[in-house]
Amino acid sequence: MRVLTLIRQVLDAEESVRIKDGAVDLEGRKLVMDTMDEYGLEQALRIREAGVETEVVAVAIGPARCQDVLRNALAMGADRAIHVETDAKLDVIAVSKVMAAIATQEAADLIFSGGQQADWDSHALGAATAERLQWPQVTWTNALEVKDGSLTGKHDVDEGSETFAMPLPAVVTTQQGLNEPRYPTLPNIMKAKKKELRKESLAQFEVVPKTTVVSETVQVKERMKKMLDTKDAAVAASELVKLLRNEARVIG
Amino acid sequence: MILLVVEYSGGKVSKSTYELVTCARQLGREGPVAALVLGSNIAPVASEIAGAVDQVLVADRAELAQFDSELWAAAVAQIASEGEASTVLIGGSRSGRDYSPRVAVKLDASLLEDIITLQADGEKLIAEHYTYLARVTEKVEVQGVAVITVKPGAFAAAVRGSEVAEQFDVDLDLPPRRLQVTGKTGEKTTRVPLSEADVVVAGGRGVGSAESFTKLVEGLADQIGAAVGATRAIVDAGWRPYAEQVGQTGKTVAPKAYIAIGISGAVQHLSGMNKSKYIIAINKDAEAPIFKIADYGMVGDVNLLVPAILDELRK
Amino acid sequence: MSTAVAPMVAKRVNGGSFLIEDLTAADVFTLEDLSEEQKQIVKTTADFAEKEILTHVDAIEAKQFDVTKALLQKAGDLGLMSADVPEEFGGLEMDKITSALISDNISVLGSFSVAFSAHTGIGMLPLIWYGTKAQKEKYLAKLATGEWVASYALSESSSGSDAMNIRTQAVLSPDGRHYVLNGEKMWISNAGMANLFTVFAKIDGQKFSAFLIEAGTPGLTVGPEEHKLGIRGSSTCPLSLSDCMVPVENLLGEAGNGHRIAFNILNVGRYKLGAAAVGGARHAFRNGIKYGNDRIAFGKAVTSFGLIQEKIAESATLIYAGEALVYRVVGAIDASLAELDKSAPDISLQVQKRIEEFAVECSIIKVWGSEMLERIVDHVLQIHGGYGYVEEFPAERGYRDARINKIFEGTNEINRLITTGWMIKRALQGKLALLPAIQKVMDEVMAGPSPREEQGGALATQRALLANAKKIGLFCAGAASQKFGQTLEEQQEVMGALADIIIEVLALESTLLRTEKMAGTKPLAIAMAKYYAARSFRIVEKSAELIIGAVAEGDMLRTQMTIFRRLSKHEPENTVALGRQIAGAMIEAGRYAL
C-alpha cells in the first residue's frame, strides 16, 4: 500500500516568537519538522517494517525552505518526497484540497497528518482531507495497527479514549504517545541523497484560500509577580488564601 | 440563521454550548439563533436549550446515540444548508474540532478554529485565535459562510431567559458509520471537567511522587472544588492519567485561577495555561520560569506550603 | 579517499603556509558550506546529544557505566562512531569535516565527550590505521557499533608528555606464541568500561610497540577510578600488566613502530578536541544566556547589564571564531586527502602523512580551542553569580570539565612549543619559505614607513590588522632567531609568545575569511569579526612586547619598538558598541545564533 505523510516545517518550540510587520518572523530562526508529523512518519515507517508492503511518501506544501524537512523525512526512511512549493499563506481547507489531489494522483491508501502542532493546534487538515476524499478519519490517535486492509487502534475523544476499527483508505491524525520517532541514522542520511524529491507547482491544484490573516501579535499579559514571604509557611498560607478570597475572588 | 450545535453530557447542556449562544448573539450577523441537538433520547437537552435560543432543531435518532465524525458532519451540513445558515458555531471540544472541518468542506465554507473573539463587519467575519503554543494572537478574516469552533471559556455562558423557543424535528440523510468503536475508557472524575473549571490545581515533578500528588494537589483541588491538572512529565511518568495533562499535547485551559504546584513552567506547559486570569505558582526553585508569569508566587518546599494552605482553608 | 559528504570547497594548501601566504574567502571551507547531508548529520548528532545525553546527565556523572555504554551503543546504531571507519569493515568512511561535525555537536557533556572521543579517536584509530585485515575483522565492527568500548594506554606515572620514556616491557614467550607484558599504566580513559585496550610497551626494553589486549586477559588488571576535578562521569583508571600474555597476532603494526601510532593519531585527536571545545562552548553559552535572561537583578534581567553583555559578546565571538578556525583547517585537510588514491595499498600511511602536514594547525586548534572553552565556561559561571558556584546548575560542572582540555592530547605548553618549533623546523628544511618572508619584512621595516595599502570592504581595517599581525610575527621570529640562533628552542617563554602570535594569525585570518565568505549578508558576523580582530591584535601586541623585551636592550630595543609601533599602529574600534550589538542578538535568540 501507499502511505502519504504530511510534513510541516515549524518554529522550534524552544525558540522565542518574534513579530515583524504584523506577522511571525521565521527568518533565520530554528525551524524543525513538527513533532506531530514525526509521529505520523514514524508510524508509516513502522507499518512498512512490520511487513506490510508499503511505500512511504512524504509531502510538504510550503516555501522552498520546506525541502529541509522533506530531506529529514527521507533520511528518517521515507521512500520519496513531494514538495508543492509555494509562498502563499494557505488555510487548512485550501491545503486539504492539495493533499486530497495528491492522494488521488498517488493512489494512496492511508494519510498521516499531525495534530496539535507547534504553530497551529489543529487536527483539521486531516479531517478536511478525509472529507474531500470521502474517506473516514480518526483524530487524536495514540495507537495504531494495520491488519488485513483495515486499521485498529486507540484515540482520544471528549471524555476519555476509545479503541476503534476502521477500513482503509483512511486519514489518521496523530497525538503524543503514538510512538517514539527515530533519529535519522548516518547511513540513511547518505542513502536519502539518492531518493526522489519531486517538486510540484501549486497552480495545478487551483486553490483559493478563504481565510486572510490580518495580523499576528504577541500579547504578554501583565502579571503581578507578587512574591510572598515564605519564611513562615502558616503566615504565607494565610496571606495567599486572603488574596485568593479578596483579590482574585476564586474561593468563598 | 446562525446555527449552533449543542454539546451535552449526562442529559445536561454543557457550559460550552451556552458560551456558543453568547458568541452567536454578540457577533452581529442577522437571523435567528438556532440550536441543533443531535443524539438519541435527547428531549431533556432540547428542552433545556430552548430557554436560551430562538429555535431548536432536534434529530433524535438511535443511530446518533454515539458520536461519529461523518454522521455529525453530514447532519450539521444538511441542516445548515437547508436553513441557509450564514454561520455555524461548534464547541471547541475534541469532537467539535474533529467534525467541523468536514462541515466546512461540505458547505464550501471557511473554517475558523478555536476562536476567542468573533465580530461581523459587513459581509466579513473577523476573529482572533491563539497560535504558536498560545504565544501569538492571530487575527483572521473571512467572507461569507463560516464554520467556527469556539474555544471553551472564551465567552461568558448565556443565561436562559423566560421565553422558550419552538422545537422542530428534523429529517436527516445519514451516511453509514465507518469508524467502529470497539471499547471505551472514560475519564473517571467526580470533579469539574478541566475545561470548565473556574479553578485548576495542577502539579508537576516538583511535587515529588504520585502519593504526594494525591495528598497535595488533589487535596487542595477537593478542598476548593477545583479541577486537577498535571504536566506532561508526570503523565509520561505514569503518576497521572493523560486526561489531566495540560499543555501543548494535552488540554488548554483558561480558568479564573491556575494554581501550579511544583511546576517549573516549560514552554509546552505554559501554552496550555498562560491565558488563565490569575496564576499562582508554588515551587522550590526561585528561578523557575513559572514565576515569570505568576501573579502570586511562593518559593519553598511544596510539602510545607501546601499543607499550610490546606490548614488555613479548613479554618 | 573518503566518501565526500560534501563537494570539496577548500583550496589545497600546505600546512603552516598561512603565516606567509594570503587566501581569499573562496579558498577556505566554512560552516556555511555544509552540504544537505552534513546538515542532517549535524541534526541527528545534536538531537542525540540533547535528547539522550542531556537526559542522562545524573547517571553518567555518577559513573553508571552501563548507562554510558548503552548511550555509546545507541550512538553506534546511529552511525556516529563509523565516520572514520573504512567501508570495507562496515564503516561510513566519511570526510574529516563530517567527523569533526560529529565531535562538535555531540559535545554537551564533558564526561560523555571524553568517553566518546577516547573510544572513536585514540581507541579506534590505531586499529583502523595499523590493524591487519584479521585484526580489523575481529574488532572493528564491534567497536564501531558500540558493542565494545576501546581504550588507549600509553601514559605511565613517570611518562606523560615524554611518551617515549615508558617502562612497560614486552618479551616474546619461549614458544613464540605470546608477548609477555609487564608494567603499569596511568590516566587511562575508558579503562573502567573498555573491552579492548591498545597498550604501548617496549619489546625487550627497546622496540616501542603497540598491542591489542582484550579485557579479561589474565594478567591485565584495571585499577580503581581516579577522583578527578572534572569529567567525573568518564572512566580514568590505572592499568597493571603482570605477565600478561598477549597473542603475537595482537601486535599492532610492526614491532618498533609504536611511536608512529602514538604520534600520528595525536593530530586527529587535536583537531577533534578543538571541534569538541566549540560544541561544548556553544552548549555552555546557551545555559549562560538562558540563566541570565531569566535571572532578575535590580528589577532587570542580568543580561541587560553592560558588563554581562561584554562577557556574552566575547563568548559569542569566540565561538564564531572557533567555528571558523576548526572547519577551515579540517576543510584544508580534506582538500589534501581528496587527492589520494583510496585503493593504494599504503593508503593509511599516506593519510597520516597528509594529516601530519597540518600538525601545526592541529596544535593551534587544540591550544586555542581549549583556552576558548575555558574562557567561556568562566564567563558562564560568572553570569550565574553565586549559583554558578553550586552543583545545582550545569555551569559549575562545565567549569570543572573544561579544565582537562588544556592537559590531555599534549599539554598546551607542549603544543605551543610544537607550533613554533614545527614552523622553524620546516623553515630550516626549506619546506616553508619562512626565511625569505622574514627577510622581506626586515628589509621593509628597515626601509622606513611605507604608504598604507588601501583596501576596500567592510573589514578593510581588520584585513590590515591581520597583514600587520603576520608581519609582527615574522619580525619577532627574525629578531628572536638573530638573538638566540640555534638556542631559540631553549627559550620557552619566547617560543610560547611566538606561538601565541602564530595562533592568533590563523584564528583571525580564519574569522575574517569566513566573514568575507558571507559577503556582507550578515551584519552580526561583521560585528563579531571586528570584535575578534580587536581582541586578537591585543594578544599579538602583548606577545610581541614580551619577545622584543627579551631579545633587545638599549638602542636596539628602542629601534625595534619603533618598528613594532609602526606595525601595530591602528585606531581602536568601538568594541563597546560592537559588544552590545553582538550580545543583543544573542540575548534575543537565547543561544549562540548567527
Catalytic residue among C156, C409, C509, C516: C409
Predicted pLDDT at C519? 78
Stronger pLDDT, A28 or C414, i.e. the higher one: C414
Q: CA of A192, closest CA in chain B: separation in Å?
A: 30
Per-residue model confidence as pLDDT tens digits over C369-402:
999 999 999 999 999 999 999 998 899 999 999 9
Whether A159 and A101 have beta carbons less than 8 Å apart is answered as: no
What is the average per-residue pLDDT within B95-108?
Answer: 97
Stronger pLDDT, B238 or B70, i.e. the higher one: B70
Question: Sorting pLDDT into bands at 50, 70 and 90, what band is C264?
Answer: confident
Number of Cβ atoms within 10 Å of the Cβ of A135: 23
| Backbone φ, ψ for residue A88 (5° rounding) | -65, 145
Q: Is B61 left (phi over 0), alpha (psi -120 to 50) or beta?
A: beta
Predicted pLDDT at B251? 84
Question: Sorting pLDDT into bands at 50, 70 and 90, what band is B153?
Answer: confident
* Mutation target vs B (from A17, A162, A166; most B CBs, 10 A cutoff): A162
Task: Please name the residue of chain C whose CA is at the shortest distance from the CA of residue A69.
Answer: C40
Predicted pLDDT at C392? 82
Question: Sorting pLDDT into bands at 50, 70 and 90, what band is B230?
Answer: very high
B297 in contact with chain C, both atoms CB, cutoff 8 A: no
CA atoms within 13 A on the CB side of C50: 13
SS3 state at B226: coil
Taking the C-alpha atoms of residue C190 and residue C115, their distance in angstroms, rounded to an integer, is: 6
Per-residue model confidence as pLDDT tens digits over B171-204:
999 999 999 999 988 766 678 888 788 899 999 9
Residues of B in contact with A92 (CB under 8 A): 101, 111, 113
Whether B13 and B48 have beta carbons less than 8 Å apart is answered as: yes
Per-residue model confidence as pLDDT tens digits over C301-352:
999 999 999 999 999 999 999 999 999 999 999 999 999 998 898 999 999 9
Question: Sorting pLDDT into bands at 50, 70 and 90, what band is C1?
Answer: very low
pTM above threshold 0.80? yes
Predicted pLDDT at B186? 75
What is the average per-residue pLDDT within C421-435?
Answer: 89
- A185 and C77: CB-CB below 8 Å? yes
The kind and range of the H/E element at C171 are strand C169-172
Question: Sorting pLDDT into bands at 50, 70 and 90, what band is C531?
Answer: very high
Say whether C409 is catalytic: yes
Long-range CB contacts (within 8 A, 24+) of B285-290: B285/B206, B287/C291, B287/C294, B287/C295, B287/C387, B288/B263, B288/B264, B289/B264, B289/B265, B289/C294, B290/B260, B290/B263, B290/B264, B290/B265
What is the average per-residue pLDDT within B32-54?
Answer: 97
Predicted pLDDT at C297? 84
Which residue matches cell numbers 610492526? C254
* Nearest Cα to Cα of residue A207 among A134, A138, A139, A132: A132
Burial class (CB in 10 A: 0-12, 13-18, 19+), B114: buried
Per-residue model confidence as pLDDT tens digits over C161-178:
777 889 999 999 999 999
End-to-end Cα spacing for chain A: 60
For chain B, give the mean pLDDT.
93
Using CB atoms and an 8 Å cut-off, which of residues 289-308 of chain C contact chain B? 291, 294-295
Taking the C-alpha atoms of residue B189 and residue B176, their distance in angstroms, rounded to an integer, is: 33
Using CB atoms and an 8 Å cut-off, which of residues 152-171 of chain B contact chain A? none
- Residue C279 clears pLDDT 50, i.e. is over it: yes
* Nearest Cα to Cα of residue A6 among A118, A126, A154, A153: A126
% of chain C beyond a pLDDT of 70: 97
B307 in contact with chain C, both atoms CB, cutoff 8 A: no
| Backbone φ, ψ for residue C139 (5° rounding) | -115, -30
Per-residue model confidence as pLDDT tens digits over C71-122:
999 999 999 999 999 999 989 999 999 999 999 999 999 999 999 999 999 9
Q: Which amino acid is at B1?
A: M
- Residue B156 clears pLDDT 70, i.e. is over it: yes
Taking the C-alpha atoms of residue C59 and residue C68, their distance in angstroms, rounded to an integer, is: 8
Facing A187 at nearest CB: one of C39, C92, C590: C92
- A186 and C79: CB-CB below 8 Å? yes
Q: What is the mean pLDDT of each run of 10 residues along chain A (252 residues)?
A: 96 86 88 93 96 95 95 97 95 95 98 80 89 96 91 89 95 91 96 95 92 88 86 92 89 78
Cis? peptide before B289, omega within 30° of 0: no
| ipTM field | 0.91
- Residue B289 clears pLDDT 90, i.e. is over it: no
